[in-house]
Amino acid sequence: MAEVVIVPTPAAGGEIVADEIVRLVRSTPTAVLGLATGSTPLPVYEALRPRLAGVDVSQVRGFALDEYVGIEPRHPESYRAVITREVVEPLGLDPDRVQVPDGSLDGIEHAGSDYEAALRTAGGVDLQILGIGTDGHIGFNEPGSSFASLTRVKTLTAQTREDNARFFDSIDQVPMHCITQGLGTILRARHLVLLAFGAGKADAVAGALEGPLSASLPGSAIQLHPHATVVVDEAAATALRFADYYRYTFANKPEWQGL
């Protein structure tokens, strides 16, 4: 099962994950990071900034999970722009080594298979950062997504468009379609690190970790992964049945084990 770490604050969660990423980059300077957008991973990127100062990141590669379809890459809310602003620039990554699925309408029919090919050529993702939507989606794999799915175009649910409207001037500006790594793609990463903060995520987290495996709750796919870490704050942990066991396990974690 996934290791569940219950932290007092999102900042504390960000620090734990950032420490693990720094360990990875120090031991493997060519590490491939799976990058997520949304507000949840921001504490990780913030904590990484001082920790990566002085660490050689010139060979690190990055792959984003998803992108809106039909949005201009220069639009401030395109995931290309968000990843550049929040990850590539502050962490000093080489922009040429960080890819985001191509959501341009021109060529969209082969954008998914191109991205799969690029991931394979890079040797796959070493550590994949994940958030989770209130409906249980990871990446943009909305309920019903196959556990075997690969990078492809999806239609966003009304719920996700409403959730993401806060980044746009109005809900009408939130694109209807997206291109996202599939659940099968995500499951190929060597280490999954899912973060969730706030009461609004409590049901999705409990369903993903402790509910039945179901395409209706795409986040439950993490139960299939041999090395998954879930970092939640107290509010996001409130619906977890085995919270006491997770706390006890983490408190008694052997020193030699990383995340």
Q: Which residues pair with 64 in a beta bridge?
A: 35
CA 169 to chain centre: 25
Tokens 């990554």 label which residue? 93
Instruction: Indicate left, alpha or beta for 123 from its phi (over 0: left) and psi (-120 to 50: alpha).
Output: left
Q: Is 142 a catalytic residue?
A: yes
Contact between 217 and ligand GLP (CB under 6 A)? no
Which residue of 36, 87, 119, 186 would you call a contact of ligand GLP, by CB under 6 A? 36
Which residue of 128, 141, 151, 164 would you call a contact of ligand GLP, by CB under 6 A? 164
Contact between 185 and ligand GLP (CB under 6 A)? no
C-alpha distances in Å from residue 247, one per residue of 154, 250, 251: 37, 5, 6
Closer CB to ligand GLP, 160 or 258, in the complex:
160
Q: Is 135 a catalytic residue?
A: yes
Which residue of 37, 78, 141, 229 would you call a contact of ligand GLP, by CB under 6 A? 37
Rounded to whole angstroms, the Cα distance separating 33 from 56 reads 14
Q: Is 137 a catalytic residue?
A: yes
Considering 15, 77, 137, 233, which one is annotated as catalytic? 137
Per CB under 6 A, contacts with ligand GLP among 123-162 are: 131-133, 139-140, 160
Considering 67, 126, 142, 233, which one is annotated as catalytic? 142
Rounded to whole angstroms, the Cα distance separating 139 from 216 reads 15
3-state secondary structure of 202: helix
Q: Which residues bind ligand GLP (CB under 6 A)?
A: 36-40, 65-66, 131-133, 139-140, 160, 164
Q: Which residues are catalytic?
A: 66, 135, 137, 142
